[in-house]
Structure 1
């Protein structure tokens, strides 16, 4: 069926509401093609796309179809799986609550219990709830840090981690079998409370979750000592982090916690920022202004579903600077391992996990403490899978996991990156260094002096629509078939093609180029946005040297990409 046939099917279907049909009647031919030339892809994490009508958009019909496919897969597992149910959370985005209830309605109609949070919650708390409720699965309606036009449908399994590749493929098979809207079962959730299939959850899970977060604090006595003089500015960027982050910090003992009022309340327009992404420096403009007035020690910012954390600290001039995800990760690796070692609690089989596009600095730090580091593919789901594997085989003790895109995890009661946990640990770390007469920035400089100067940069090339997909494929194909021999005048010593399989990692559309001076370039199409992402990493003898190397690396490879796109 071509895109026009799909378009006409939606226009003529009695299942599609009039408002959706009116939206479709007012778009041009090119827009029709973009909305219907394919189905919105169900990847290893679920769905993510622009909100709107069409098969290549996210809307109630796409949500219902995905939920029916998931329900069909769960039903294959037997009656016990139905009773265990599916937990559902949602964030502050447009239609998040509506999509959550649409999904619940499908599950209920299929005889599956649906646990739905009473209001918006962080993604990591959904992971936690799946485990606490012994649910068979969980979903979060979120598009994480994407622009306001997006929403998504993220699927978790019984261990609290995102679904594995094999489970994702089986669910996708079930979704693809739902060829007709009439195959989708739906029942109003509010009408199912008496049957016991629709359960609202809230405070009881919140309390257990916050208590477990507190259990990860290493130096409570230092927090107590600096509870009145360690000042924290926090912005939830209009998302789900406001209550849980502040609750956790206050439970830990921090008394000087101030929220950016303009960004405190949920707002699906994210009206005070260009993008609700703590990776964007401009997202901290309001927070920095407030921090200057309060003479704060640190600034925290979380994305809409509160799984990513950005941090600003004072440099040696007293100016607030934004740390990168690699820097925050390295700082936390050093802090956690050094404190465990000091208390003689560092396990012999301890392990740190990072992704293949994350800086090698964390590995170097961990090695100095006698701790191994392993790499996973990009995406925190793979870190969660490793934690599960370690528990099943008692092979390693998980100490810390992180990725360069502002995702961090300590502890094992959550199986995804967690900005509530990370916020608490970063502030504890800040209080620890304040006790020593240092800032977090001072600690970072000490790490560079001891372990080497590392610097990284991410460049994303946005290529939208069908043509964009073709250009992204062209870039990857060209680099595989005709790779450069040198970059920035430095010989390439190795090219890793993860599509062919590297070690025990699953195959993935990622290329990694390594040069003689240990610079690394990683290239991968985004799984959630119309972008190709290029990660640059350089190592130098000092700050100026590493920045010069990074600049040359970026300019040289960008010219190669520009040539391919001509």
Structure 2
């Protein structure tokens, strides 16, 4: 089957001669198989894959096919008067893929609003809403290594498309059998026909004004911002201009940028894995810190939707906080501050994912604020904001996920590191003026709510064989899992694929009111738990572990023991 697709590409008049030569030069049969054994999957996150030629790669042909499917979907749904916003990041081929998508849409009679230069993902979400577009596209592979790129689709609410829309778009993509069905128009023709427009700078300005309006303690920040010392790294990505501009306009005068990581560069020369979850990306910032002695260090990923935070602990050592820790700190700070200013809504709601710390629920309960759990992926948080607005029963306050994504406000419908950077600066400044570091504030929360500790283990399983291994592991856990782990009973099993939560103590079942997803969650008698799921964007299986201890040391010891027990089961899954 893969050989047929390979030969089709070699003989197609739509593949140019240089591309054909590149394909002919591949001598490794396994490489040919991996490039052509399947089409690059279009899921709820759109496309993401290694850049290269082939049906299972990111290239102008797979981008063109996906956009043709999107165009068909939009024309069927809206008939006419359709416009789409497009943004792209710093990655290799991002601009070319953005232009390919734009020209395809225009060839289908759809108006395109294209950012002239690279922009963060959350600014695309904002532009969709502000320009009243029917959809949006952003070309990015977020924090993946340099060989990756991706294609994310947004709905008219500014949120990433979720399951129903994704499936409808996918069916339109799958209906395309030949390259001849993919329409194209030159940039010049699209501009002459007034179908292609460049997004004006005033969109950037209005977005930044809205970000600044999210500051809770406006007067406090106005008078004290210059007293905060910050080191920031954009990790060669899109965050440099909007983050620095926003902080400068808020009065943060002492923001020092890591020069070696300031300029956009899709090769990521100083960070092979440009992910602020990885402590190694902060090595240059930490060298700067020896002289600058900042109150806070933070970095944004290439498309500036994730934020990583580094703080100094009581021993004077710098620690990269987890996404859960930053999320809990922000949850507490926002709720505390809103309550102080009598702005805490009675129907307020925190939204988090099912793999995100339960400590947030403990904090929210103290402020009589509800917590909604959604499937993994910030698109589901964006979907809840829309649902709250339509029903009018709840007011979105803050949303976050363990993978370093945070959002406040409702003018963006995706995680936003520009917003998060302003919130973290305000929070750090608040605690500094109270004579306290952010780390000390975190320890105070642990002492009050329990020493929660979470850990993510990702196992890379590439190719067709790896995909099969992932399916085997999930099948075993779903059908052959024992009732104890170590010496601790499993009291609940949540199967999000079947949509069933099983109470294993009282032998009861209830329906999980979430979209179906191939995810399993196990909750233990001692409130520890773990979640297993395949990654939606990479060839990995992910295991999320959570324990609660009576101290940092106790939670660390519990985690090591729990990790061993869970990984033994994963490694021995062979049913």
Q: TM-score, structure 1 length as denominator?
A: 0.98
Distance 2:233 2:200 in 1: 23
Distance 1:308 1:379 in 2: 13
**Paired residues of 2:450 and 2:548 also in contact (CA < 8 A):** yes
1:216 has 2:206 as partner:
no
Distance 1:158 1:118 in 2: 21
Distance 1:282 1:122 in 2: 23
Q: Name which of structure 1's ranges 125-134 and 479-488 shifts more when overlaid on structure 2.
A: 479-488
The residue number in structure 2 matching 1:49 is 49
Q: Gaps (5+ residues) in structure 2?
A: 501-511
1:30: Cα distance to partner? 0.9
1:25 has 2:34 as partner:
no
1:346 has 2:374 as partner:
no
1:60-107 C-alpha deviation (Å, 9 max, x unpaired)? 00000000010111111344342xx11000000000000000000100
1:225: Cα distance to partner? 3.1
**Paired residues of 1:88 and 1:115 also in contact (CA < 8 A):** yes
1:280 has 2:278 as partner:
yes
| 1:440 aligns with one of 431, 438, 441 | 438
Q: TM-score, structure 2 length as denominator?
A: 0.97
The residue number in structure 1 matching 2:151 is 153
**Paired residues of 1:75 and 1:81 also in contact (CA < 8 A):** no
**Paired residues of 2:323 and 2:402 also in contact (CA < 8 A):** yes
The residue number in structure 2 matching 1:552 is 561
**Paired residues of 1:20 and 1:53 also in contact (CA < 8 A):** yes
The residue number in structure 1 matching 2:527 is 518
1:446-504 C-alpha deviation (Å, 9 max, x unpaired)? 00011111000000000000000000001001111110332232111111111111521
Distance 2:564 2:42 in 1: 35
Distance 2:549 2:312 in 1: 23
1:507: Cα distance to partner? 0.8
**Paired residues of 2:146 and 2:272 also in contact (CA < 8 A):** no
Distance 1:160 1:403 in 2: 18
The residue number in structure 2 matching 1:364 is 362
Q: Name which of structure 1's ranges 485-494 and 422-431 shifts more when overlaid on structure 2.
A: 485-494
1:565: Cα distance to partner? 6.3
Q: How does 1:112-131 map to 2 (within 5 A)?
A: 112-131=110-129
SS in 1 for 2:77: coil
1:187-230 C-alpha deviation (Å, 9 max, x unpaired)? 01233213210101141110000000001001122223332321
1:360-402 C-alpha deviation (Å, 9 max, x unpaired)? 0001000000001010000000000100011011010100000
**Paired residues of 2:451 and 2:548 also in contact (CA < 8 A):** yes
SS in 1 for 2:225: coil
Q: How many residue pairs end up in the alignment?
A: 563
1:302: Cα distance to partner? 0.5
**Paired residues of 1:274 and 1:282 also in contact (CA < 8 A):** no
The residue number in structure 2 matching 1:293 is 291
Q: How does 1:260-275 map to 2 (within 5 A)?
A: 260-275=258-273
1:386 has 2:395 as partner:
no
Q: How does 1:327-338 map to 2 (within 5 A)?
A: 327-338=325-336
The residue number in structure 1 matching 2:35 is 35
Which runs of structure 1 show a deviation greater than 3 angstroms over 4 or more consecutive aligned residues? 78-81
Q: How does 1:48-447 map to 2 (within 5 A)?
A: 48-82=48-82, 85-447=83-445
Distance 1:531 1:565 in 2: 17
**Paired residues of 1:471 and 1:565 also in contact (CA < 8 A):** no
**Paired residues of 1:351 and 1:397 also in contact (CA < 8 A):** yes
Q: Name which of structure 1's ranges 20-29 and 293-302 shifts more when overlaid on structure 2.
A: 20-29
Distance 2:453 2:211 in 1: 31
**Paired residues of 2:225 and 2:250 also in contact (CA < 8 A):** no
Distance 1:61 1:526 in 2: 24
Distance 1:281 1:488 in 2: 31
1:26: Cα distance to partner? 1.8
1:21: Cα distance to partner? 1.2
1:294-331 C-alpha deviation (Å, 9 max, x unpaired)? 01110110101000000001111222110000000000
SS in 2 for 1:42: coil
Distance 2:213 2:37 in 1: 50
Distance 1:292 1:485 in 2: 51
**Paired residues of 1:222 and 1:431 also in contact (CA < 8 A):** no
The residue number in structure 1 matching 2:505 is none
| 1:528 aligns with one of 530, 537, 545 | 537
Distance 1:530 1:233 in 2: 34
